[in-house]
Structure 1
Amino acid sequence: MGIQKPAWLEALYTQKFFVGCSYHETAKKNEKNICCLDCCISICPHCSSSHRFHRLLQVRRYVYHDVVRLEDLQKLIDCSNVQPYTINSAKVVFIKKRPQNRQFKGSGNYCTSCDRSLQEPYIHCSLGCKVDFVVKKKRDLSSYLRTCNSLALSMDFVALEDKGDDEMTNETPRSTIVDYEEGTSSSSGSENMSTIAHTPIVRKKRTGLCSCGRSNRKISSDQDMTTSISISRRKGIPHRSPLY
């Protein structure tokens, strides 16, 4: 009985997130990005009103992997020795393991389950890796589980729901994950997961006419106007002389 996982933990592993909700197919923002821990199902923001008295856990997504906030997950289970990451100034933890094939292991710290390079003193790269390690070694999760009677959605999630469609995104260009390998060179070929925010380049439009010292002088004839325009025009593209 000790090796059995709680139902909400199995739901995090098995439920599909960031897919369209079948109950709100025609509604906007109908992606399932919430896990109801009491019903053990994935729901969309439109379904959350029917589960308002349940424990709700927001699931975020980065580079095709589901993550949850460390602050919320620690209320449910002990997350010590799990490598945290940073997205939008908030620490998150990956739900499922992310196996990484390595032909040769260099010196350093690696995950106990998937051999991913980690920062010391962490030994698990995800919640799934820690759960598998505990089940294999101790065969009991009860000492790691915590009592949590209520869990509400974070205020930033509610604020995003109130914004327009253009402002509501599950993964913004400013979302970054600060990994241990970022900015360092490793003999084992560390993965850099940083995302660089691309700032659009604003080009100033040049005016078609230039005063050229004549702004204070009134142009009185068509000939003067033609002369002023010809002076102020940009230099054209040079043409190669014909070859004979």
Structure 2
Amino acid sequence: MFSKKDSEDLFSRNKLGTFQLLWDNKTEWFEAPNSGSHENSWSGVSKITLEGQDFFIKKQKNYSKRNLIHPFGENLAQKEHKNITIFKRLNIPSLEAVFFNRVKKNGNDYAILITKALSSYTPLNEVETLVNTRALNLAARRTIIFHTAKLIALSHENKVKIQSLYSKHVFVHDSLIQGQACMDNEAPCKFIDLERARLSYFDKSSFLKDVETFSRRTKSWSQSDRLYFLIHYLGEKKVTQQVRDYINKLKSISK
């Protein structure tokens, strides 16, 4: 269902106000659909512009994943929508869900999740290319690293593990890239792609794994950049014993 009345009105005006109309609407895939673990299972994302507003529409058919809690499979669009709701409740900047619904029909499981496009943001992996071309000065790079560290720390403080944390899953506000400050109502960085995120109250090592994975996948960062990230992720102002100990922990799980 639509999360807000104005969103429902917008889609209805454009003849996309129901699940069936949305499913039947043919839009070029923004990303090539992924095949699921069994036959006739897939997930694809398209982008649509309505009255100057951009949205991403994720459609899934029979797309689920087994886990201990859901031995017969958990619907992944529903899981992502649940995670978006959790992130919103915990004030962790991420996507805004506009619509979610799931329909079971003729033995098939269909799901649609619509989110607002982060039009004023750029994926961190694209920002990294600016580092390689030296189009991003040191001050801007450090500001982006600082806010990235604070975003990941915020999720971990709230016991949320992102899992499979790629730099492309963190979006940076364009003002930071331009060396400017964000407006008061805009988050400097936001998470996307929350299918795999989960609450983790007891497994503290899972947060360490998030950081190790993220560090490994930000390939353009220098050692100085990584140290700067860790200092601010840990809430320090300089290299302390806590930072040194954390570096040793990271080394122990990266071997």
The TM-score bracket by the shorter chain reads under 0.3
Structure exhibiting the larger radius of gyration computed from Cα positions: 1
Higher relative strand content: 2
More helix by share: 2
User: How high is the TM-score relative to the length of structure 1?
Assistant: 0.24
Q: TM-score, normalised to structure 2's length?
A: 0.24
